Amino acid sequence: MRLDFTSLSARDAYSWMVSTILPRPIAWVSTISADGKSNLAPFSFFQGICANPPTLMFVPVNTRDGAKKDTTRNIEAVPEFVVNLVPFALAEKMNATAALLPYGESEFEKFGIASAASEHVRPLRVAAAPVAFECTLDRIVHVGEGPLAANVVFGRIMLAHIADAALGADGHPDPAKLDLIGRLGGELYTRTTERFSIKRPDR
């Protein structure tokens, strides 16, 4: 089949993109409002983008009404956040935090998610996340306007917390021990427990 994206509605384009661009890692992002209220939400338009300087990005799009999500509002007010990675054991809790809560209501409290203090930034981190990146805002790039338009958030990684239990014998993270989940289309997810390796031609 062929799909002409120039004639698709934004919602249809979104639907085809999220069912073809996969698996997608999930940034479980904690932020804080100007008056100190915590927020936690998942975003699968997410990637690391470079190491010089260490930078990642994720994308809270506008709502269907064209409003900014709480995560965007908070980062504009307090330019710091934590990107927590999501293990299989926290899949249900992560999904719960995608619920629409009134601005200022904490997903940590509402869904009983244990938090831990961060060192470089004010937002809390998810205590049981095997990896948590403390980030300061580099910049927000706006792509499009109105409903589903993107607020691309670039974050400078200041500090990573990596669970000792997720390290292999070589001292590096073991994908099976991390047991992270990735998003597929719709309500489907995948896990990092199945792997294969290929030698790179230039190594």
Residues at the contact surface with ligand FMN, assessed by CB under 6 A? 26, 39, 41-45, 59-61, 69-71, 95, 98, 100, 183
Q: How many residues does the chain have?
A: 203
Query: Do residues 33 and 4 lie in contact, with contact meaning Cβ atoms separated by under 8 Å?
Result: no
Residue 46: name the closest of 135, 138, 130, 153 by CA: 153
Task: State both tokens at 87.
Answer: 């293990």
Pick the closer one to ligand FMN by CB: 167 or 184.
184
Task: State both tokens at 158.
Answer: 């200041």
Rounded to the nearest whole angstrom, what is the least distance from the CB of residue 33 to ligand FMN in the complex? Answer: 10
Pick the closer one to ligand FMN by CB: 63 or 172.
63
* Whole-angstrom distance, CA of residue 102 vs CA of residue 33: 13
Pick the closer one to ligand FMN by CB: 167 or 191.
191
Pick the closer one to ligand FMN by CB: 69 or 161.
69
Q: What is the CA radius of gyration of the chain?
A: 17
Rounded to the nearest whole angstrom, what is the least distance from the CB of residue 94 to ligand FMN in the complex? Answer: 7
Rounded to the nearest whole angstrom, what is the least distance from the CB of residue 48 to ligand FMN in the complex? Answer: 15
